[in-house]
Amino acid sequence: MEYRKLGDTDLELSAITYGSFAIGGTMWGGTEENEAQNAIRVSIDLGVTTIDTAPFYGLGFSEELIGRTIKNMDRSKVQILTKFGMVWDGSNEGKGDFMWDQEDNGKIYPLYKYASKANVIKETEESLKRLGTDYIDLLQLHWPDSTTPIDETMEALQRLIEQGKIRAAGVSNYNKDQMLEAQKTIRLASNQLPYSMLNRQIEKDIVPSAIENNIGIIAYSPLERGLLSGKYFKGEHLKSDDHRNGYFGQFDLEKVKAFLNKIEPLAQDKNATLAQLVLRWATLQPGITVVLAGARNSEQAISNAQSMDINLTQDELLFINKELEILS
């Protein structure tokens, strides 16, 4: 495994970082707890020492599951990244930006983006409790909240750093201007953003600005929630309540399939799967610090970790990027 410094911090994160959205179960057709815990343990054993989560993932369940899994581990050997600012428990009293009504286990929860100072402090305490730890390595604002001034949110994060409850502060889904505005109040460690072979929008201005300002980029959805693994073109089916039934509809699936067919021989030459090749490509792109990869079982966890064993030459990267023109 390769470890990378996150922005202007002393955090060293594994280039492949464990993404825990799916193990929360909500929007993913449920989860199998024992398999998820095994996936986390195997990931750590193979050097994937960084775990990214959020209260919203399973409405608290993902954080609780991670907390139980790492309970008896050396906390200094595991980096915990979590978030705040997606509120479903009504504590925001209708304040913030309404997102949608989230269904979970037959109940409907109105979901809001909310990042007031008081909410930042409240959510942090809740996450610390669920995770069973006394500090969070990186705390990130999950989504921009247009109703709260950026400096108010960042001042709250700075206070948490000074209290030792978090080691570093980041944002997620911020555009360039929002990112630079936050920098006026706090030293941002990172911006977590969607990035994949099918979605390279951040290369235009966010990545260059992040490089210039020494802000790390944490890439999420590098496999487009499994689509770029190719398995859904080979007969694998999704559960009816899996959000990917709709999510995949945004892509030209015939073009995606044609592209994967073009690069699959390269993966085979490397004794790798398509998913591993796609992950490794993402880790090698300019400005990308770490790449999130979810795993719901040990097999997926092993595959993700071993993607870092792939050696890609500049010519091979050029070949992949040329074939990506099919998708543009």
- Show Cβ contacts of residue 299 under 8 Å, excluding neighbours closer than 6 positions: none
Residue 204 has pLDDT above 70, yes or no: yes
pLDDT confidence of residue 25: 60
Query: Pick the residue with more confidence: 325 or 66?
Result: 66
DSSP string, 187-250: ---EEEEE-BTTB-GGGTTHHHHHHHTT-EEEEE-TTTTTGGGSGGGTT----TTBTHHHHGGG
Q: Could you give the CA distance from residue 56 to residue 270 in angstroms, rounded to a whole number?
A: 37
Residue 67 has pLDDT above 70, yes or no: yes
Burial class (CB in 10 A: 0-12, 13-18, 19+), 20: buried
Domain that holds residue 161: 3-225+280-311
Q: CATH number, domain at 292? A: 3.20.20.100
What is each CA distance from 103 to 25, 29, 58, 100, 111, in whole angstroms?
Answer: 12, 12, 11, 9, 10
List pLDDT tens digits, range 266-317. Answer: 999 999 999 999 999 999 999 999 999 999 899 999 999 999 999 999 999 9
Q: Residue 84 in 3-state DSSP?
A: strand
113 phi, psi to nearest 5 deg:
-90, 120
Residue 175 has pLDDT above 90, yes or no: yes
Neighbours of 103 (CB within 10 A): 12
Q: How many domains does the chain have?
A: 1
As given in the structure block, the two tokens for residue 92 are 């925001």
Residue 325 has pLDDT above 80, yes or no: yes
Residue 260 lies in a domain: no
pLDDT grade, residue 106 (50/70/90)?
A: confident
pLDDT grade, residue 233 (50/70/90)?
A: confident
Residue 272 lies in a domain: no
Q: Residue 91 in 3-state DSSP?
A: coil
Q: Per the residue annotation, which of 3, 18, 57, 114 is the catalytic one?
A: 57
Burial class (CB in 10 A: 0-12, 13-18, 19+), 8: middle
- Mean pLDDT to the nearest integer, 90-115: 91
Neighbours of 275 (CB within 10 A): 21
Residue 230 lies in a domain: no
Residue 319 lies in a domain: no
Active site residue 232: no
End-to-end, the C-alpha distance of the chain in Å comes to: 32
126 phi, psi to nearest 5 deg:
-65, -40
